[in-house]
Amino acid sequence: MKITLLLAATAIIASAYTVEKTDNSNNDLAEAHLKGRVKSVATMLDHTSEDQNFDYHKVEVFDEHGNKIADSNFNELNFRPVYHKCQYSQQGAIMEKQQYCAGTDAGWKTTFTYNDAGILSETKTYHTSGKMEQRIVYNYDAQGRNTERLSYAADGHQNGRTVLKYDASGSLTEQSKYSEINGSLSLVSHDTYYANGNSTSEQYNSNHKVERSSAVQQLETDDEGNCIKWREDIKGGGKSFSLFYKREIKYY
């Protein structure tokens, strides 16, 4: 029943969208570490380690630019998708993303600004009232890789920072996130990515100590090299347990 509902929901959401194809590596698929012309991803929790009771379903739909146009977390009794309407330039660069919840008016909006070389330099996110709530500035190295993202609140003060590191081939290897805690930026998470597709993550509390860690191990990939089954081992709060996920990926 759960799998049938998940796939049916994917079809319903995806059927409403047809857009012009473009090549744009600066998109939501890249952020999600997905390869190829992904149309939709249906993810569900397959099973857990003993004595764990979790339920997880998620549907994501992407346009042919590689940006997310719909997503939803749901169970068998509750399906409420969130839609994202994207506007593009004539060159295919995303310029604006407007969020909509099913049955409601427009929600939060994000605008995208590019430098003279056509590289993303800034995003601004606006509340439904029209007030700007967050601005993110993107910095790059000499090879054009995004190495830093600086986040600013509505009043202009810096409240976040993300640092990204790459290997010689340009693959992302580390990502560290800093957030404002007690008036200063503190490390809140550190992720490490490995060439075999596995990853580890650590989350820190206000005392700069690890309060939760996880290790993701790929179990199966599809023909495009995208992971479709994986195991996540989690430690935190005095507990250790494992979650096993699977997902179906459809392509254009």
Give residue-wise pLDDT tens across range 189-202: 999 999 999 999 99
- Give 141-189 as a DSSP string: -TTS-EEEEEEEETTS-EEEEEEEEE-TTS-EEEEEEEEEETTEEEEEE
Is a pLDDT exceeding 60 seen at residue 231? Answer: yes
Q: Tens of pLDDT along 92-101?
A: 999 999 998 8
Domain residue spans in the chain?
A: 2-251
Mean pLDDT of 140-162: 96
**Burial status of residue 226 (CB atoms within 10 A of its CB: 0-12, 13-18, 19 or more):** buried
Closest by CA position to 252, among listed 61, 82, 100, 118: 61
**pLDDT in the model for residue 103:** 64
Q: Tens of pLDDT along 19-69?
A: 333 334 579 999 999 999 999 999 999 989 866 666 788 999 999 999 999
Is a pLDDT exceeding 70 seen at residue 1? Answer: no
Q: 2-251: what CATH class? A: mainly beta
Query: Which pLDDT band, with edges at 50, 70 and 90, does 89 fall under?
Result: very high
**pLDDT in the model for residue 10:** 46
**Cα maximum dimension of the chain:** 55
Lookup result for tokens 């254009």: 252
133 touches 148 (CB < 8 A): no
Name the DSSP letter for residue 6: H
Contacts of 24 (CB under 8 A, 6+ apart): 65, 66, 67, 92, 93, 94
User: What is the percentage of the chain residues whose pLDDT exceeds 90?
Assistant: 72
Lookup result for tokens 């179990």: 219
**pLDDT in the model for residue 52:** 64
How far is 220 from 242, CA to CA, in rounded Å?
A: 17
How far is 148 from 138, CA to CA, in rounded Å?
A: 6
Closest by CA position to 10, among listed 69, 60, 67: 60
Mean pLDDT of 175-182: 94
Range from 18-22, 23-27, 166-170, 202-206 carrying the lowest mean pLDDT:
18-22
**pLDDT in the model for residue 107:** 85
Query: Which pLDDT band, with edges at 50, 70 and 90, does 124 fall under?
Result: very high
> How many angstroms separate the Cα of 101 from the Cα of each of 44, 60, 85, 252?
22, 14, 11, 25
